[in-house]
Amino acid sequence: MSELIGLAQSHLLLSGCAVGIGVLIGLPLAILSARSPRLRGPALGLAGLIQTIPALALLALFYPALLILGRATGLIIPALGFLPALIALSLYALLPILRNGVAALNGVDPAVIEAADGLGMTRRQRLAIVELPLGAPVILAGIRTAAVWTIGAATLATTVGQPSLGNLIFSGLQTENWARVLTGCAAAAGLALAVDGLLALVESGLARRSRPRLWLGLAGLALALAAALVPARGGGGKTLVIGAKNFSEQYILASAIERRLQAAGYRTERRDNLGSTIAYQALAAGDIHVYVDYSGTLWSNILRRADIPPPAQMRAELTTQLRARDGVVVLGPLGFENAYALAMRRARAEALGVRTLGDLARAAPRLTLGADLEFLSRPEWRSVEARYGLDFVVQRSYSPTFMYRAVADGSADVITAFSSDGRIAALDLVVLADPRRALPSYDALLLLAPGTDARAIEALRPLIGAIGVERMRRANLMVDRDSDKRTPAEAALWLDPFP
């Protein structure tokens, strides 16, 4: 419950600021556009163009854009979290405010405008006394539209590390915790309806010149913003930000890390559902302070290496090179691997006589491959293709949850499973052997941002080498299975029963 309130607060604050900025930019722009047809076309066109960019992509674009801007200007610009989400949502809010503003001002009766001019109103007086009051209901309708859109789109802010009600939706989808998804959706919808209702009150107050309605609506909005600003938790101590990518294992490990840091007296924040490269860059930039990544991912994505050294050598090189390159501390391996592994249902594999990737190459032309969203564009896949000559009849990409569904119901014969995944045992899958060593190792490594406190490091050190693959699989299964589901926090408590 306190999680829901905290998320709703930051959701409301983000949306409120975005709509506020949308009004501050949109309304003056509407006033200028209403007067100048030469400005109107480009302004409406640009706002419309922004609107056609999917909100998710718009949000994601601002992370690298701000990162580059920060590097180019030498300023400290937070590229993750509130700022990119705010910019993207403000741009999103612009169109309805601008469009309705122009329509409102251009829709004022020409006779009224002529009278205003003829009586000797200056442009500013005409705007303040005649055009804005007469256009107010239409302008406000635009603000209402913007507010509802923005509160909806703010759920996506989660993906750039800004906590919002989207946290519930995204992590709920990932762990198939539908109650969590519904809670997130219902809370976001409730928030949108409430804000829309208050704005409707302001609108009718303006239209009917009813001061009670106007003040009631404005007071409600002010109260909502004030509620968003009340700090959810008190207490001092430094805040450490824990990152997680978008799958169950990451949520569980982030929860375990969070508990250990809190026990050491730190306040913590979570940035869940980060993209693979965003997570590392955010760590290097200090926007997050700790997260778990995998050696093979860092090897190919960050160091851009295509060779495949033995696991220990890969870890050693990563430790020295990431420190030299970005100041990132590789604290050590947690003790299990989450490697890509091609897996099949046991019955199907035995029927086809497939035990290794070499065997698979013979059968592949009759089989369908289900891959996760990034595997087919990764060097590991090229490496597997090159060493075994795999040639599937169909290749499909799924989000991880649906990939396992696909192999379970037979729509995929082979999937790119993850070796620590609890569903390997649960679905009775066999992992195919890789005798030619095409797939690199994916040791789970605990990564810390440059300059992390020694005390925080000591608080986390007990996790190193403490989590074997069997334990991780069981913890993952607790969250991923269909019945008797546990939350990631509960699984973390089981995985790392501390203190």
Partner 1 sequence: MTALDIANLTKRHGGRAALDDVSLAVEAGRFVALVGPSGSGKTTLLKSINRLVEPDAGTISIDGRDIRDRPVAELRHGIGYVIQSIGLFPHLTVAENISIVPRLIGAAEDRVAELLELVALPAELATRYPRALSGGQAQRVGFARALAARPKLMLMDEPFGALDPVTRDELGRAYRALHERLGLTTLMVTHDIAEALLLADRVVVLIDGRIRADAAPAGLLTSRDPDVRAMVDVPRRQAERLAAL
Residues that bind partner 1 (CB under 8 A): 109, 111-122, 125, 129-130, 133-134, 209
**What is d(CA 354, CA 352) in angstroms, rounded to the nearest whole number?**
6
**What is d(CA 396, CA 369) in angstroms, rounded to the nearest whole number?**
6
**What is d(CA 21, CA 306) in angstroms, rounded to the nearest whole number?**
46
The nearer residue to partner 1, 109 or 350, going by C-beta atoms, is 109
The nearer residue to partner 1, 51 or 106, going by C-beta atoms, is 106
Torsion of CA 314, 315, 317, 319, to 10 degrees: 160
The nearer residue to partner 1, 121 or 466, going by C-beta atoms, is 121
**What is d(CA 336, CA 471) in angstroms, rounded to the nearest whole number?**
9
The nearer residue to partner 1, 111 or 226, going by C-beta atoms, is 111
Give the dihedral sign, CA 348/350/355/359.
Answer: negative
The nearer residue to partner 1, 117 or 307, going by C-beta atoms, is 117
The nearer residue to partner 1, 121 or 352, going by C-beta atoms, is 121
**Which residues lie closer than 8 Å to 293 by C-beta, 6 or more apart?**
279, 280, 444, 445, 447
Query: For residue 48, what are its two tokens?
Result: 């419309």
- What's the DSSP call for residue 159? G
As measured in angstroms, the least distance from the Cβ of 113 to partner 1 is 8
In the chain, the largest separation of any two C-alpha atoms, in whole Å, equals: 93
As measured in angstroms, the least distance from the Cβ of 204 to partner 1 is 14
The nearer residue to partner 1, 208 or 325, going by C-beta atoms, is 208
**Of the candidates 255, 294, 289, the residue with the CA atom closest to the CA atom of residue 167:** 255
Q: Please state at what angle helix 248-263 crosses helix 469-480, rounded to 10 degrees.
A: 110
Query: For residue 432, what are its two tokens?
Result: 């195919």
Residues 460 and 260: beta-carbon distance below 8 Å: yes
As measured in angstroms, the least distance from the Cβ of 135 to partner 1 is 10
**What is d(CA 245, CA 378) in angstroms, rounded to the nearest whole number?**
17
As measured in angstroms, the least distance from the Cβ of 271 to partner 1 is 49
**What is d(CA 267, CA 241) in angstroms, rounded to the nearest whole number?**
9
The nearer residue to partner 1, 110 or 236, going by C-beta atoms, is 110
**What is d(CA 95, CA 49) in angstroms, rounded to the nearest whole number?**
9
Number of residues that this document lists for the chain:
499
The nearer residue to partner 1, 57 or 129, going by C-beta atoms, is 129
The nearer residue to partner 1, 114 or 458, going by C-beta atoms, is 114
**What is d(CA 151, CA 23) in angstroms, rounded to the nearest whole number?**
15
Q: Which helix (H) or strand (E) holds 22?
A: helix 2-35
As measured in angstroms, the least distance from the Cβ of 33 to partner 1 is 23
**What is d(CA 411, CA 456) in angstroms, rounded to the nearest whole number?**
46
Whole-number Cα distances in Å, 236 to 265, 270, 472: 9, 17, 33
